[in-house]
Amino acid sequence: MSDLIYEAKRIRMIEELIIERYPLDVFQSPVHLSIGQEAVAVGVCSAVNSEDLLYATYRSHAFYLAKGGNLRSFFAELMGKVTGCCHGKGGSMHLASKAVGFMGTSAIVGSTLPVSVGAAFALKKLNLQSIVISVFGDGATEQGVFHESVNFASLNKLPILFVMENNQFAVNTALEARQSYDMEKLIRSYGIRYKHLGESFNPEEVKNAVENVVREIRDNSNPGFIEIDTYRYLEHVGILDDHKYGHRDVNRLEVWEKNDLVRNFEYDKSRLIEIENEIIEAYNLAMSDPSPEESDLYSDLK
């Protein structure tokens, strides 16, 4: 097993620290956690280069971290501190770190899709070798702009990988109650190569599958689409378990936890302690960082 499982575990430990400290009111931001889904972000990000440009959603702590985003700036952003990756003005739902190709996230479902397609269009026009990775949830495919975006990407043969992170739910509504279309047929009807990766617990497996699609995109300058099944352990937004409310089947959680590699892997204890120390140090540094001044209010507006 490679380092990827440690990267996934690191991300889970970071979100677990958020859960632990959230009641202290240190974070100036709602949080959409992705505990349970880490293999997707780690697998996808390890299959692309740092020059490749990734766009994602409000549920993107894992993608920011897996793409190499700075940890202190991450905590600082959630705390509204001036050292945050967006100077404390974006919060958890609007992370960005252009230095590592993490281009941006948004609270509006589906809204980074057309932006990411525009970036892929620019890369092609400028004859650059990088590709774009556009990450979104199953719910985003119900937005009109999703269809406009994949259509435009296909017509223009853009170097873009669409990653559908399918956790089966949009807030509290299950996929079966929301969608009448067959995703594979739909995407193939746009002339886009489609791959469905079933429930994915292992970042290594995700990496291998994504690498194959990425190779095709680079060789042929054609879009690719990968759907990856996963499961979110906690409520849509916040730090609590919502299975007791009845809209999600607790058996599903139990099966997922049983197979959860991040949970069940036998880690080297000393490596985990190193990771824990790194996380605590970054958190403490962010805590001691200053908040923005009133005079910062109108900076960063363009």
Q: Which residues bind ligand TPP (CB under 6 A)?
A: 57, 59, 107-109, 137-140, 167, 169-171, 236
Which lies closer to ligand TPP via its Cβ, residue 140 or residue 234? 140
Query: What crossing angle do the helices spanning 4-21 and 203-220 adopt, rounded to 10°?
Result: 110
Q: Which residue has the tokens 């960063």?
A: 300
Supply the minimum distance, in Å, between the C-beta of residue 34 and ligand TPP. 7
| DSSP secondary structure letter of residue 32 | B
CB of 43 or CB of 139, closer to ligand TPP: 139
Query: Buried b vs exposed e over 185-198: b needs ≥16 C-beta within 10 Å?
Result: ebbeebebbbbebe
**Cβ neighbours of residue 82 under 8 Å, at least 6 residues apart?**
76, 88, 289, 290, 291, 292, 293, 296
Q: Which two tokens stand for residue 302?
A: 């363009």
CA distance 41 to 141: 19
Cβ of residue 143: shortest distance to ligand TPP, in angstroms? 6
Closer Cβ to ligand TPP, 216 or 229, answer by number: 229
Q: How far is the CB of 161 from ligand TPP (least distance, A)?
A: 17
Residue 279 C-beta: closest distance to ligand TPP, Å: 23
CB closer to ligand TPP, 43 vs 137: 137
By beta carbon distance, the residue nearest ligand TPP is: 137
- What's the min distance (Å) between Cβ of 57 and ligand TPP? 6
Query: Three-class SS of residue 17?
Result: helix
| Reduced 3-state DSSP string for 176-187 | HHCCCCCHHHHH
Identity of the amino acid at 124: K
E strand spans, the chain: 53-57, 102-106, 132-137, 160-166, 169-170, 173-174, 193-197, 224-229
CA Rg, the chain, in Å?
19
Residue closer to ligand TPP (CB basis): 72 or 248: 248
CB of 275 to ligand TPP, least distance (A): 25
Q: Which is nearer to ligand TPP, 176 or 294 (CB)?
A: 176
Question: Kind of pairing, strands 173-174 and 169-170?
Answer: antiparallel
CA 176 distance to own-chain centroid:
23
Q: From the CB of 56, what's the least distance to ligand TPP, in Å?
A: 10
Q: CB-wise, 225 or 283, nearer to ligand TPP? A: 225
